[in-house]
Amino acid sequence: MSEKTDAGVQPGSTPCDPSISITVLENGPYLVKGKPPLHLQTIERNDQGQSWSYREGREFAMTGKAALCRCGHSRNKPFCDGSHTKANVDLTETASFEPMLAGAEEIDGPRLSLTDNERYCAFARFCDNGERIWNEVQMEGKEHEELATYMAHQCPAGRLLVWDQATRQPIEQPLQPSLSLIEDPGIGVSGPLVVRGGIRVESASGRSYEIRNRQALCRCGASSNKPFCDGSHASIKFNDGLA
């Protein structure tokens, strides 16, 4: 195991109390320390059929040290039951430890900018409202600015950040530490484990990933950017049976 290093913190994010953290176990589950609330969250659509908001559902009791499935095969989801030892799923971490902004594209508008690192797309599709976030941020007017900011804030993976060009700071909402199991009935699948509120995620190597306000961790076992979600749950039609 490599020597532990301090994690960087993404601009606009604030680390939570260090008593709450997530460790990615080698070829195993996520070990959650502390007692962040854990709920089902269902993506609800608007009248145009686009992802628009989250509906909070069932809560799962956290004991202070809980193992959450990341292979997609546990029969006791969201908790691990050891199925990863027989599931023949490659759980090797492949994600970069670089800040997300290092690989992000920047799109500038009249008053706002958008940074986007597509590698972290969790395929929740909030960004498709209106004229789509990449266009809305470039359009003049308060209505477009507010819609672009709203869509970015709904992005579960934090791949999208809206910035105030005057201050060069991200417009980001402070979030309480929490975990959410995403259900996406719009495409009939279950999605990632969403980590909000600056919870530190530590690799099995002992090195910490960048601390971010919003992160999406793979729980279907199919992501090519582990431990982070890359939207593969949509293509494999992952269903956790919890909804």
**pLDDT recorded at residue 5:** 47
pLDDT tens, residue by residue, 86-123 = 999 999 999 999 999 999 999 999 999 999 999 999 99
pLDDT tens, residue by residue, 11-20 = 999 999 999 9
Q: Are 225 and 95 in contact (CB under 8 A)?
A: yes
pLDDT tens, residue by residue, 199-214 = 999 999 999 999 999 9
The pTM of the full predicted model, rounded to 2 decimals, is 0.95
Buried b / exposed e across 118-134, counting CB within 10 Å, b at 16+? ebbbbbbbbbebbeebb
Per cent of the chain over pLDDT 90 is: 96
Q: What is the mean pLDDT of residues 135-159?
A: 98
**pLDDT recorded at residue 7:** 63
Q: Where does 61-206 show beta strands of DSSP type E?
A: 64-68, 105-108, 112-116, 160-164, 169-170, 178-184, 189-196, 200-202
> H helices within 43-200, ranges in order?
133-136, 142-154
CA distances to 14, 74, 150, 154, 193 from 174, in Å: 8, 33, 14, 13, 19
Number of neighbouring beta carbons within 10 Å of residue 6 = 9
Nearest to 221 by CA among 53, 77, 109: 77
